[in-house]
Amino acid sequence: MDRVTVIAPAKINLSLDITGVDEKGYHLLDMIMQSVSIFERVTLTKQDSGITMGSNARYIPTDSKNTAVMAAINFFDYAKIDGGVHIYIKKTVPIKAGMAGGSADAAGVIVGLNKLYNTRFTMEQLCEIGAMTGSDVPFMLVGGTKRVQGVGNIILPCADMPRCHFVICMPSKGVSTPQAFANYDKLGYKTKVETDKLVQAIENEDLTAIAKYMANDLEKAAGSEDTEPIKKQLIEQGALGSVMTGSGAAVFGIFDSEEKAKRAFQYFKGRVRSVFLAKPVDFGASITMDRGKYNKRR
């Protein structure tokens, strides 16, 4: 096999709780993360040596500043393989959105190289490579509905998200993740995040309770002036609840019917930079030939 294509879902944060800082100065987190049906498409072509990259998005770097290239470097180092690959990324997920598009690309590279070079690494080993690449990458490999703690290195099982629909709005300006955390430290603003209650609501398949307990410690710190207006508009359009995802700037609403979600999606077209209609999915980065229909449960 000389070429493989991977689909890598984006993520949203149903919750994000900053619980402290470790000895290296990294923020410790407790989050409920959810994969959604918005996909990056990563095609890998084996080559004799070197790591090269191309993309349909001209605004992203194609050298080691890109997490996808760094993932390939880390993979070859970990596997002790003197190999090469050309990476082509068809981007869908906006940057600086809090949806981990770059981490999805990195996860896609790791999964794809594991297939191309027949290394047969376990998911635990793939996550080790992912952790060397970025804090969100291990979750983007595993996917689904998970409770993620520490600096992204602790992934705990969680009940599957019940059937629902998301409308995800990306405003005109993105948010820098380092800046959002720096602002949080400066402001000292703490949101009430009740992760245990959110976990219970998911187990009970109670969408109203899930919406009630969605919360994000970084909402105020992100400093996006669009967050509150979009949240308000999503609720007005029928969302059960709304919250910013990750470090922002994307904001999503959760809906209990496809009809309501589609109406909201149409409402936001032209009002925000980009808007997505999505569902929860129960997988991370996956080889397309192995996946079949994107979500077998739905």
Distances (CA, A) of 239 to 13, 229, 245, 258: 16, 14, 15, 11
Residue 249: is the preceding peptide bond cis (ω within 30°)? yes
Tell me the one-letter amino acid at 296: K
d(CA 175, CA 250) in angstroms, rounded, equals: 9
Reduced to 3 states, what is the DSSP secondary structure of residue 156?
strand
Catalytically active residues, by annotation: 11, 136
d(CA 86, CA 108) in angstroms, rounded, equals: 13
Closest CA to 242 of 214, 221, 217: 214
Report yes or no: 288 and 5 within 8 Å, Cβ to Cβ.
yes
